[in-house]
């Protein structure tokens, strides 16, 4: 099995973004990857009910949109099924299909809890599908081959990915004789975008979609490229104005020190960098990445923004701005002998060009839930208000990126529990309508 490091993902994500619908990127800034979760922060989450997962491989068509001979090439695409709680075809019990995003599917089972946790209630089958060009679902055998030239890379886009999902959902329905089982698709972040697009494009295959923290409006001329960072700033300001001010001042302070003789080595020493800084960029990207990540995954019980600010505001009396920023860094990342600031050359942004999705949604869409945590910087590119009676939003003030579809925990705050309940209730209504229609 192929495994990739996080860095490599970011690298591949860059390709996804670049290849996805003729993207034009609008922000030069570094934005954390669109992952549903922050792996590092979630390393403590225990394995979810592993649900008797069974792995399968589907012989997937490389190119869904062309009849040229080479389009009939295939690759193995991984999908994973749990029928542990499924009521079976006799009762037309539902199927919940989770769409993998820009990462191997394996990472998702221990953190994406939504499907397994609602399965007993809905007597539903859980289906997880890996995104093409990730994990084990790589055309041309290896990633090196798959990314080799514009022809091989050309099949790496979201339209193909959604068509993959359609084929596999239909295949699974056939395999399990679940011909009349309704399907609800679920995704987080980029996967949530895929889920909502899927419901628009294949309404006959899915009765509804849950799109968690999906920044489907984060495209040029729809959402400002600065929106993401404005919200990061606001998150910090809300937690502590003093902390926010310290961070704001720190950028020019870093420049001031760097401009002195031996300034970079002073900064290297003060920030305990693993190797000497060769410019201030590595340091600035590192800090910017830390603030963004903290805001994006600002989830209970730790609330990392609070953690960073606790360090900054609580630094030893008399600390200067740099001393405070360092204390914030140490508070968030933990005490380390050194901090590795070597830039990973994988910066990306989400200035994806798309059409006026709101209009498209209104015209063609229904039965979509957009769930958003309002403090998640990506919510600036999300749908935050109901668009129709059946395109609904479930927002929470304190929510963070994709929190609602992650494993539910005893310690979850009331608002999170309520948010999940609301989503389940809406889905129940979709299914009730579906079964009523089926009967008549």
Q: What are phi and psi of 56, to 5 degrees?
A: -135, 165
398 binds ligand NAG per the rule CB under 6 A: yes
**Residue numbers 251-290 binding ligand NAG by CB under 6 A:** 274
142 binds ligand NAG per the rule CB under 6 A: no
Q: What are phi and psi of 79, to 5 degrees?
A: -145, 155
- How near is the Cβ of 354 to ligand NAG at its closest, in Å? 9
Q: What are the C-alpha distances in Å from 58 to residues 79, 99, 131, 171, 403?
A: 7, 15, 12, 9, 30
Stretch that binds ligand NAG, among 35-43, 116-124, 144-152, 258-266 (CB under 6 A): 144-152
415 binds ligand NAG per the rule CB under 6 A: yes
Stretch that binds ligand NAG, among 35-43, 308-316, 337-345, 384-392 (CB under 6 A): 337-345
Q: How many residues bind ligand NAG (CB under 6 A)?
A: 17
353 binds ligand NAG per the rule CB under 6 A: yes
92 binds ligand NAG per the rule CB under 6 A: no
* Of 2, 3, 7, 177, the one binding ligand NAG by CB under 6 A: 7
411 binds ligand NAG per the rule CB under 6 A: no
204 binds ligand NAG per the rule CB under 6 A: no
- How near is the Cβ of 221 to ligand NAG at its closest, in Å? 4
Question: Is there a contact between 113 and 406 (Cβ–Cβ < 8 Å)?
Answer: yes
Question: Which residue, 251 or 415, has its beta carbon nearer to ligand NAG?
Answer: 415
* Of 66, 71, 340, 418, the one binding ligand NAG by CB under 6 A: 340
Instruction: Assign 3-state DSSP to the chain and report helix, strand, coil percentages, each to 5.
Output: 45, 10, 45
Strand arrangement of the beta sheet that strand 391-396 belongs to: 54-61, 74-82, 125-129, 95-99, 183-188, 208-212, 368-373, 391-396
Stretch that binds ligand NAG, among 147-155, 180-188, 307-315, 355-363 (CB under 6 A): 147-155
Count CB neighbours of 22 within 10 A: 10
- How near is the Cβ of 355 to ligand NAG at its closest, in Å? 9
Count CB neighbours of 49 within 10 A: 17
Q: CA-CA distance, 98 to 81, in Å (whole number)?
A: 10
CA 177 to chain centre: 32
Question: Which residue, 53 or 159, has its beta carbon nearer to ligand NAG?
Answer: 159
Site string for ligand NAG, 14-33 (x = CB under 6 A): ----------x---------
221 binds ligand NAG per the rule CB under 6 A: yes
Nearest to residue 164, comparing CAs of 196, 200, 202?
Answer: 202
Q: CA-CA distance, 51 to 84, in Å (whole number)?
A: 6
43 binds ligand NAG per the rule CB under 6 A: no
Stretch that binds ligand NAG, among 32-40, 84-92, 339-347, 358-366 (CB under 6 A): 339-347
Dihedral sign from CA coordinates of 159, 162, 166, 172: positive
Stretch that binds ligand NAG, among 33-41, 148-156, 203-211, 283-291 (CB under 6 A): 148-156
149 binds ligand NAG per the rule CB under 6 A: yes
* Of 63, 344, 347, 374, the one binding ligand NAG by CB under 6 A: 344
Annotate 277-324 with DSSP letters as a single string. -SSHHHHHHHHHHHHHHHHHT--TTT-HHHHHHHHHHTS-TT--HHHH
| CA count, 13 A, side-chain hemisphere, 392 | 17
**Residue numbers 103-132 binding ligand NAG by CB under 6 A:** none
Q: Checking DSSP bridges between strand 391-396 and strand 368-373, what pairing results, if any? A: parallel
- Say which residues have a Cβ less than 8 Å from residue 124's Cβ, sequence separation at least 6: 85, 86, 87, 93, 94, 95, 96, 115, 118
Question: Which residue, 129 or 329, has its beta carbon nearer to ligand NAG?
Answer: 329
- How near is the Cβ of 412 to ligand NAG at its closest, in Å? 11
339 binds ligand NAG per the rule CB under 6 A: no
Q: CA-CA distance, 259 to 207, in Å (whole number)?
A: 60
- How near is the Cβ of 289 to ligand NAG at its closest, in Å? 12
433 binds ligand NAG per the rule CB under 6 A: no
234 binds ligand NAG per the rule CB under 6 A: no
Question: Which residue, 17 or 206, has its beta carbon nearer to ligand NAG?
Answer: 17
66 binds ligand NAG per the rule CB under 6 A: no
Count CB neighbours of 6 within 10 A: 15
Please report, as ranges, the residues that interact with ligand NAG according to CB under 6 A: 7, 24, 148-149, 151-152, 220-221, 274, 340, 342, 344, 353, 397-398, 413, 415
């Amino acid at each position: 099995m192929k495994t990739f490091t996080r860095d490599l993902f970011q690298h591949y994500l860059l390709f996804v973004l670049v290849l996805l619908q003729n993207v034009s990127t609008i922000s030069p800034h570094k934005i954390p990857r669109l992952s549903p979760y922050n792996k590092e922060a979630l390393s403590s989450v225990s394995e979810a009910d592993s649900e008797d997962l069974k792995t399968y491989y589907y012989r997937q068509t490389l190119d869904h949109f062309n009849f040229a001979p080479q389009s009939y090439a295939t690759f193995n695409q991984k999908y994973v099924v749990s029928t542990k709680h499924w009521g079976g075809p006799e009762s037309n019990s539902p199927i919940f299909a989770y769409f993998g995003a820009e990462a191997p599917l394996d990472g998702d089972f221990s953190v994406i809890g939504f499907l397994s946790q609602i399965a007993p209630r809905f007597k539903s089958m859980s289906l997880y599908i890996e995104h093409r060009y990730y994990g084990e679902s790589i055309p041309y055998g290896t990633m090196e081959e798959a990314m080799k030239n514009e022809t091989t890379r050309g099949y790496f886009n979201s339209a193909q990915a959604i068509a993959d999902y359609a084929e596999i959902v239909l295949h699974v329905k056939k395999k399990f004789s679940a011909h009349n089982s309704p399907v609800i698709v679920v995704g987080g972040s980029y996967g949530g975008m895929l889920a909502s697009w899927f419901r628009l494009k294949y309404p006959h295959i899915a009765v509804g979609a849950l799109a968690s923290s999906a920044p489907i409006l984060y495209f040029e001329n729809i959402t400002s490229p600065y929106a993401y960072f404005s919200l990061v700033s606001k998150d910090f300001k809300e937690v502590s104005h003093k902390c926010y001010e310290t961070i704001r001042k720190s950028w020019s302070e870093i420049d001031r020190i760097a401009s002195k003789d031996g300034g970079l080595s002073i900064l290297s020493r003060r920030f305990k960098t693993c190797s000497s800084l060769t410019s201030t960029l590595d340091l600035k990207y590192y800090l910017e990445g830390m603030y963004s990540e903290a805001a994006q995954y600002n989830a209970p019980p730790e609330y990392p923004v609070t953690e960073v600010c606790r360090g900054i505001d609580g630094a030893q009396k008399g600390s200067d701005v740099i001393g405070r920023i360092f204390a914030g860094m140490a508070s968030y990342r933990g005490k380390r002998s050194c901090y590795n600031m070597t830039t990973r050359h994988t910066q990306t942004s989400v200035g994806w060009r798309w059409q006026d999705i709101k209009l498209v949604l209104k015209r063609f869409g229904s039965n979509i839930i957009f769930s958003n945590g309002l403090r998640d910087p990506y919510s600036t590119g999300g749908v935050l208000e109901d668009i129709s009676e059946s395109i609904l939003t479930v927002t929470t003030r304190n929510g963070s990126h994709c929190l609602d579809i992650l494993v539910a925990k005893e310690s979850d705050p009331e608002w999170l529990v309520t948010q999940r309940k609301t989503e389940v209730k809406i889905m129940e209504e979709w299914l009730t309508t579906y079964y009523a229609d089926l009967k008549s």
